[in-house]
Amino acid sequence: MKDRKVKSIFKQGPIAPEFIAESLKKHQTKTKIGAHAMFMGQIREDETEKGKVCSMVYTAYEEMANELMHEIREEVFERFDLHCMHVYHSLGEVQTGELCLFVFVSSGHRKASFEACEYLVEEIKRKLPIFGKEIYENQEHAWKRNQFPENTME
């Protein structure tokens, strides 16, 4: 296993579609890659008992989250045959329709990319100390809780 440097996964505000396109473009020169899998989390305009969601405000224990993400990254590289992995999560306010999470993995073949991407997203949601506060049209708010399926990946 390569010893990889702890990187910050955080970007202030929404993740721009142009940033995602540029990330993909940079990988065109890596000719050992045969597959990419991406997950892009977008803020939904949910209707709740408190009103319609108009944005989310994200906060995090950044240092702890980056350290835990480093551990997850190392585990995923060991577990799946990947060439590259990139994870970005928003901090601050993100409006409905905007992107707040971008996970991008690359491998020689599609199966490893698909499986690694799904596993990675679930681990991020389950383990990282990142908190989202839903802001409603009436400016009330509530802290969002992540929901996990009964059948979790082992």
Quote the mean pLDDT of the chain.
91
Residue 152 predicted with pLDDT over 70: no
pLDDT of residue 42: 97
50, 57, 82 from 115: Cα distances, Å: 36, 29, 10
Whether residue 63 is predicted with pLDDT greater than 80 in this model: the reply is: yes
Packing angle of the helix pair 110-127, 62-79 (nearest 10 deg): 150
For residue 124, what are the CA distances in angstroms to 78, 117, 144?
Answer: 17, 11, 15
pTM: 0.89
| pLDDT confidence bin for 5, thresholds 50/70/90 | confident
Q: Which helix (H) or strand (E) holds 59?
A: strand 51-60
> Rounded distance, CA 79 to CA 111, Å?
13
Residue 110 confidence (pLDDT) above 80: yes
Domains of the chain, start order: 10-25+33-143 (3.90.1170.40)
CB of 60 closer than 8 Å to CB of 10: yes
Q: Compute the average pLDDT of residues 27-45.
A: 94
Percentage of the chain lying above the pLDDT 90 cut: 78
